[in-house]
Amino acid sequence: MKISYSAAVNSKIDIAIYPYFENKITKKHVDAKLFKGKSGEILLVPTKKILLLGLGKKDKLESADVRGLFAKAVKALMNGKYNKVGLYWDKPLNNFDTEVLEGLLLPNHHVAKYKTGKDLKKANDKLIKELVIIGSGLPKGFKKHADDINKIVESVHYVRDIVTGPPNTVSVDFVANEAKKAARSGGFSVKVYDKVWLKKNKMGAILGVNAGSGNKGAKLLIMEYKPKGAAAKKAPIMLVGKGLIFDTGGYNLKPTKYIEDMQQDMAGGATVLGVFRVLKQLGVKRRVVGVVPLTENLIDAYAMKPSDILTAYNGKTIEVRNTDAEGRLILADALAYGVKTFKPEFTIDLATLTGACVVALGDRYAGVMGNDKKLIEELIDAGKVTDELLWELPLHKDFSEAMKGIIGDLRNADNGTSYMAGSSKAGAFLQYFVDKSKWAHLDIAGTAYVQKPKVHESQYGTGYGVRLLAEFLRKI
């Protein structure tokens, strides 16, 4: 959405939003009997070209509430009548400038990208084309900050579209090509390693998952952002994202009501790409490396079978106990390669990894676990700022023992009790591939793709994690 500025309301603005705290209504707009300013209260007055938004009591206002309130106002205006929406900026909003902007910008999205004709036009027409900030009391540096937020939100929308997109369009090659396009303007480099390279470098875990995909090759995507300055000379921060384009579950086939939405299983990889698109805009000072293993998990005569043994990049042998525990396999090679090659200070992986995390935490929290308490706490804090919430899950030593193999070094699922602490055991498996790197694992299975979105989200792909990691990287 375009952002512009005006000292006062003008005739080119289709409608203006006026936020009010409870019982602080100005008579020039509306009789206080009609609008009290209670939290979430909305009064649309088309004849005056205004929308009044209630913020509730000033001392009760919280960050997440602000984002939701302004998102509610924008959604009320997404009906095709208002292309240019104004917001009267009052000084109290300065304390919540990020939340206000995100609330206005994040909902301006639709999922109907593959409709045609009048239906597509109708969906596009509902989008607001321009946001006009009205007033002169803006805080110092506001315009640059607004540009940054707008860029981040564009990346969130981008990730939503990729995660929701059909796998016959959003293929392995599509994602690799998207990374190359983004690199041209995003100030980072991209290397795409193909199946021949994967075989040469003995990435047996990725290749094992890919084995049933016929002529649909696997790839390893490496992105690298190298800013100038002293901070960039430190060991890099590495982001690793699961890029499972579609997951049938393999021979442990997913049932109906679970398999239909498995195009979203590459949300971790899409999020990493989304973050890389904004690093230059945000002026992130640290070197950042992104590693995304890309493949599908399909079934044919060559597909991996339960009881197969794969050899990962770091030489560890893995008993395949469940072909639907494939995400941890492709991440194993990606993590091991990334840690050995780039020697990062911090490693953060994101993956729609386990249904167990959805059962444990639902669709409002993602799980986080790892081997460095400070890193985990910093990620949790970033999630609180962005309302992309994280909840720490345990990595008990017994979970690590459970992932040890009987005839091989490791197994990708334990026997008999794999349904217990499933998210933590998946994390415990991944820990065998991070060596001594400070590491955190984000299980975003419940938050990356939802049926009942928050008011500022879209149904299906949410873009979860882009804002959280942007917040983390800006402050580190």
Residues annotated as catalytic (active site), given as ranges: 254, 328
C-alpha 169/C-alpha 246 separation (Å) is 11
Terminal C-alpha separation, the chain = 29
* DSSP strands (E only) in 127-278: 130-134, 188-193, 219-225, 237-241, 243-247
CA distances from 457 to 121, 147, 155, 364, 468 (A): 21, 20, 13, 12, 15
Q: Where are the beta strands (DSSP E) in 150-299?
A: 188-193, 219-225, 237-241, 243-247, 288-297
In 90-229, which ranges are E strands?
130-134, 188-193, 219-225
C-beta atoms surrounding 139 within 10 Å: 12
Pairing outcome for strands 410-411 and 317-319: parallel
Q: What angle do CA 269, 272, 274 make, to 5 degrees?
A: 110
For 172, the enclosing helix (H) or strand (E) is helix 172-186
Distance CA(165)–CA(112), nearest Å, equals 10
Amino acid 210 reads N
Question: Which candidate, 442, 441, 439, 472, places its Cα nearest to that of 371?
Answer: 439
Identify the CA nearest to 380 among candidates 371, 389, 372: 389
Q: Is 407 exposed, middle or buried (0-12, 13-18, 19+ CB in 10 A)?
A: exposed
d(CA 269, CA 335): 13
Nearest to 209 by CA among 265, 153, 168, 282: 265
Q: Is 199 helix (H, G, I), strand (E, B) or coil?
A: helix
Q: Are 80 and 125 in contact (CB under 8 A)?
A: yes
Q: Which of 367, 345, 326 is nearest to 286 (CA)?
A: 345
Q: Pull the structure tokens for residue 188.
A: 């980072």
Determine how many CB atoms are found less than 10 A away from the CB of residue 447.
29
SS3 450: strand
